Structure 1
Amino acid sequence: MRLGLMLLALGWVLALGGGWAAHLVQTSGGTEVRDVRFPASDGARLSGLLYLPADASAEDPAPAVLLSHGYINTREMQSAFAIELARRGFVVLAMDMSGHGYSQGTVGANAFGGPAAFAYLQGLPMVDRANIGMAGHSLGGAPILFAAKANPDGYRSMVLVGSTPGIFGAPEGEGRAFPRNLAVVFGQYDEFPDLMWQVPTGGDIVNAPRLKALFAAEAPVEPGRIYGEIAAGDARWLQVPPITHPWEHFSGSGVGATVDWLQQTLEGEARPLPADNQIWFWKELGTGAGLVGAVLLMLGTFQVLSRLTGLPDAQPRGQARDRRWWIALVLTAAVPALTYFPFMALGQLFAAGPLFPQQVTNQLLAWALMNGLITLVLALVLRGPAPRFQHRWLAAPLIAAASVGMAYGAALACDALFKTDFRLWVLALKPLDGRQLAYALAYAGPWILFFLVSQRAVAARLSLKGQGAGAEMAAWAVALSLGFVVLLILEYGALFLTGRLLTPAEPLNTIIAIQFAPLLALIGLIGAFAYRRSNSYVPGAVICGQFITWYIVGGTATHWAPGA
């Protein structure tokens, strides 16, 4: 009981303390952060976070910037740009693209939501309509390009961060005539050089024919040189920092280059600062602490309730780390990573529909369920001492649901008090809206089913009699995450050595895999903790199934909606 209370206390301290610290950073200089909604042309409700500097008013309007995140991300992913621009005096709207975050519709609907978001920002009384800029990362280039085409004289400059004109049907570039005053920030190690600029590596963008046409340049484009004239609206500027695609919106160089160009091309910010004067990473530390706190709240709640209801401690049968144990660990680590790319491809056949409307979630679920089948087959081959589980089929799942509910309550509290969530780079937990909660009800069952199979296998094969709690939790974490750690080392080792991924045809799935190394380690820790305190794999499976459902549904995109 004492351990559970300590975990609960520490979890709340980290969750609320981290949220408060993140709030202080994102409101630096008196900035106010508002959760806003605005309509699209078809009536769909779109979402954004509005950053209002203290000195922006109808009497003294400020320059403004529209920000858009990339595919299967949300508005919060642009907080680094938003914080740095707002503390310099820019009004900032970080939008959720259509079908992402809290924005209704499907991916690509209403021109990705760009024109509606621009119209909302432009109509704010504290915005200087003559000084509006835009910046979009990756697929986020599409909404701002559509907004620019719809408002050719309504904006002054644009930054495409890891993006390109014409992306997924967005307007194409027209030499130096469109877009106006364009900066391109593209990582030297970006994973999408083929898709974005039809070159083999990010560093080769300087030779890309499409880029040369945009810059009206015959020779390789020179990073850092301004082509054209800002006053004439035909300026062009390239930066190629030594970063990857996910780092372009999570690095000093990516953020600094974007802020630099917007400060050069827009006028009237109240507090101009050097581009390298940045504080956004302190906000990430705060929300990262909150993410740790959310996990501790789940563990603490489970510990307290399991003791109060008398759940038994685990009774493993295994005696030693023998050859069978090591084979089980290697297979547990290797099989999910080895099947990841092919099963994600097969998962495309699991098309988005009324019950399961998120295509990427469907692919991940297909990968998981097919791995569950493999686990069942391996369990028949790797026979060993029969485990002794004691299932409390009513109490254990209820306790597990209450454990996730405690973390969810903390997320609601941070959102209400501080306008922050739990996140660190690509990992994020945030409250779900009503639409997403309905999706989660459908997805939770299959995910729990997968974890019932996988965690039973891990408990049966890797738990040893007399093994300490720390050693057991470490073993589960390593077994579940090691395969993806090795996969990412191979992929990014090749990228940093050659400029190309080991599997250059899989850039999106490789980026998605980044989050699976820490996520699967967390699932291993949670599963082992719950098993040791219940002698059952059931509560751990319920916790992990609900946790993953919450995580994925809240962070990915909707691809089906009635009438879409």
Structure 2
Amino acid sequence: MLGLVLVLVGGLLAAWTQSSGGQVRIRDVRFTGANGQQLSALLYVPGGVSAEKPAPGILAVHGYINSREVQSDFALEFARRGYVVLSLDQAGHGFSDAPAFVSGYGGPAGLAYLRGLDLVDKNNIGLEGHSMGGWTVLSAAAAYPDGYKAMVLEGSSTGSGRAPEGTLTYPRNLALVFSQYDEFSQLMWDVPRAKDVTSSPKLQKVFGTTETVQPGKVYGDPAAGTARVLYTPATTHPGDHLSHEAIGHALDWFGRTLTGGTPLPASNQVWHWNEVGTTLGWLGFIALVLGTGGLLLHTRSFEGLRRAPSAPRGLTGAGWWFSALVMLALPIATFFPLFRWAGNVLKPSALWPQSITNQIMVWALVNTLVSLMLYLIWRAGAGRRAQAVTAPTTPPDLAVAVDTAGAPLATAPAPRRGNEVLGALAVALGAVGVGYLSLLLTNFLFKVDYRFWFVGLKPMTPTHLRMFLAYLIPFTLYALMTATVLHNQMRRHARGSMLTNALLLAGGFLLFLAVQYGTLLTRGQLFTPGEPLNVIVAIQFLPILAILGVFMTYFARRTDRPYLGAFVSALFLTWYIVAGQATQFPL
């Protein structure tokens, strides 16, 4: 019931915010791009806009391995000001067809679609893109040089290798929002620190000056299309999405350069309520999965899986703390090396078509293998100690059956292992299935998903489902090994601790990110400045691994076995990763 309430309240709040209290209509649209590639977008249409009363239009595009929902905070603020907004899924992202990176990332087709709407004023169109979304709108501008009036690049640059370098006339009326702690300063503007962007020769060329660019100063002439301005909000590259300052600069610039719309101060922003609503949806989803699984365990079909928690039989004392340090350190020690190796060797293919998912899969499998070896070493040592203690001292007529770690076994006949595993799998499918159904309804009714920032849980397309099945086995092996370690080796109390297990899985990434961003905020660079993308990818590991810790602990408490929690975690993890990543191989 708690899950249902959170999902409903969150969906209503997010929908009310995005629609500006019902004043903006939001439609899920599909259209055909180059080479027959189907693209997806959310179309925001303010009230009162029609073919007879057209409004300015804005094409808004997310960055790499994101989707159209990540730009929703920008899109809803644009729509509140009377702009028709097309929030595009880049090619190979979200609900748009694979592969990624083709046909200008889908940008030219998106601009053509927006210009084709009779309710859009074709003389007043703006382009806004974050990170690789900036390269998407640049490609659109290059394809239709007279098809737009102004552009905002958020954390992006004018040179992508796929669009021409910036000049005084391209792009037209440019606002660059480049944050003071942007992780991609070297890639975007050839400077080691984001705060040095004002002295970037590449940027100075775009601004038509050889001197240090002054933030906030407008260079050039808006009437001639040569206007330039630099804004430097105090946030990070992904932080642009949660920055009143960064969003406000985009609102200001389009207010200056586009004619029409509804006058509204840039400081008047409500997007944070959208974030609250979609975050409530996340929490509701977790509660639904836990609650549904718990209810299924009380049905006649699955009540045999329920058991009271047994006494802990794992590590204690210094041994536990040493193993905890290994669990914290191993995922971080292998993160960069395995990501680099997999990125170079395991290229996207028909079987495994997502580059970053392949990297995560290799990381998970290697960690699984190392954990298995350490676990077997511990089991062998625990078995020898148990035999040394029990064999000489226990009379035969008083012997108690013990497992290899010395813990007493249940006296009741145990169910067959195969039936137990299949039952756990059925409950997991039911629990995650109810969560999936809730997301489908939320997406259909409210046009939102479960999301905080760029950590979002999206519905899968049929193509995603095919990929889900291909990636499911590797991630199931990872989940089974992890759940076994938490339940058998690291459990210190009968019921286990959700907080402890969440920290064991995610704590290493918490420390890793603290070091990375502590260095960024104090010195202007990440601790590993050459790995900005992988550091940002690691941010998602923090909440997702914590959720896995909750799932594994909750269901282990109720079944005294690791299987159910592992299966729930594997289904959830595979779904989350596959639906949220870019697909590079054409399917």
- C-alpha contact 1:82 1:92 (8 A) present in aligned 2: yes
Letter in 1 for 2:472: A
Q: Which residue of 2 aligns with 1:402?
A: 430
CA contact (8 A) 2:130 2:154 kept: yes
- Equivalent position to 2:335, from 336, 340, 351: 340
Structure 1 residue 316 displacement after superposition = 4.0
1:423 match = 451
Q: Give the superposition deviation at 1:346.
A: 1.5
Q: Is the 8 A contact 2:65 2:581 kept in 1?
A: yes
Match of 2:213 in 1: 221
Cα gap change, 1:332 to 1:251, in 2 (>3 Å):
same
The equivalent residue for 1:286 is: 277
Q: Would you say the 8 A contact 2:315–2:489 is kept in 1?
A: no
Partner residue, 2:530: 505
- What is the CA deviation profile of residues 354-373 of structure 1, one whole-angstrom value per residue up to 9, with x for unaligned ones? 01100100000000000001
CA distance in 1, matches of 2:242, 2:133: 15
**Does 2:490 correspond to 1:462?**
yes
In structure 1, which of residues 491, 516, 520 is the aligned counterpart of residue 541 of structure 2?
516
Question: What amino acid is the match of 1:365?
Answer: M
Aligned to 2:389: none
State the 1:142 CA deviation.
Answer: 1.5
Matched, 1:23 2:48: no
Q: For residues 218-261 of structure 1, what are the alpha-carbon distances to aligned partners after superposition, in whole Å with 9 as ceiling and x for unaligned? A: 21000000001111110000001111000112211111111111
Does 1:560 find its partner at 2:585?
A: yes
What secondary structure does 1:67 align onto? strand
SS at match of 1:134: strand
Mean CA deviation greater in 428-437 or 304-313: 304-313
Single out whichever of 221-230 and 513-522 deviates more from structure 2: 513-522
Distance 1:147 1:426 in 2: 24
Pairing 1:75-224 to 2, within 5 Å after superposition: 75-174=68-167, 176-224=168-216
Question: 1:424 deviation in Å?
Answer: 0.5
8 Å CA contact 1:227, 1:237 repeated in 2: yes
Aligned to 1:445: 473
Q: Which residue of 2 aligns with 1:327?
A: 322
Which amino acid counterpart does residue 322 of structure 1 have in structure 2? G
> What code does the residue aligned with 1:487 have?
F
SS in 1 for 2:421: coil
One of 302, 306, 313 as aligned partner of 2:297? 306
TM-score (norm 1): 0.95
Residue 122 of structure 2 aligns to a residue in which SS?
A: strand
Per-residue Cα deviation, 1:244-301 (whole angstroms, up to 9, x for no partner): 00011221111111111111110100x2111111000101100000000001111001
CA distance in 2: counterparts of 1:432 and 1:522, whole angstroms: 20
The 3-state SS of whatever aligns with 1:533 is helix
Q: Deviations over 1:495-551 (max 9, x none)?
A: 000000000011000001111111111110110111111121111111111101111
SS at match of 1:59: coil
Question: Is the aligned partner of 1:546 residue 2:571?
Answer: yes
Q: Distance in 1 between matches of 2:40 and 2:242?
A: 22
Going from structure 1 to structure 2, the CA distance change for 1:91 and 1:324 (only over 3 Å counts) comes to same
Partner Cα separation in structure 2 for residue 187 and residue 386 of structure 1? 58
Q: Give the Å deviation of 1:319.
A: 7.2
Q: Secondary structure at the match of 1:231?
A: helix
Residue from 379, 382, 394 that aligns with 2:378:
382
Contact 2:314 2:489 in 1 (8 A): no
Higher mean Cα deviation, 354-363 or 305-314? 305-314
Report the counterpart of residue 529 of structure 1 in structure 2. Answer: 554
State the match for 1:6 in structure 2: none
Q: Which residue of the partner structure matches residue 501 of structure 2?
A: 476
Q: Which residue of 2 aligns with 1:5?
A: none
Q: Which has the larger radius of gyration?
A: 2
Give the superposition deviation at 1:386. 6.0
* Letter in structure 2 aligned against 1:39: T
| Counterpart Cα distance in 2 of 1:42 and 1:200 | 39
| 1:246 to 2:213 alignment | no
Give CA deviations for 1:301-348 in whole Å, capped at 9, x if unaligned. 111111222222332433774112212222112211221111111121
Q: What do the CA deviations read for 1:465-511 (whole angstroms, capped 9, x no partner)? A: 44x55xx1111111111100000000000000000000001100000
CA distance in 1, matches of 2:454, 2:563: 28
Distance 1:295 1:509 in 2: 26
How far apart, CA to CA, are the structure 1 residues paired with 2:191 and 2:215?
16
- TM superposition shift of 1:91: 0.2
Deviates more, 1:302-311 or 1:199-208: 302-311
Q: 1:170: Cα distance to partner?
A: 2.2
Name the residue aligned to 1:3. Answer: none
Alpha carbons 1:318, 1:465 under 8 Å: kept: no
Secondary structure class of the residue paired with 2:169: coil
User: Number of matched residues?
Assistant: 549
CA distance in 2 between counterparts of 1:439 and 1:373 reads: 23
**Matched letter for residue 465 of structure 2:** L
SS of 1:255's partner is helix
What is the CA–CA distance in structure 2 between the aligned matches of 1:426 and 1:98, rounded to whole Å?
Answer: 18
1:360 aligns with 2:377: no
Gaps of 5+ in 1: 1-8
The root-mean-square deviation of aligned C-alpha atoms, in Å, is: 1.4
Greater mean deviation of Cα atoms: 407-416 or 339-348: 339-348
Preserved CA contact (<8 Å) 1:315 1:465:
no
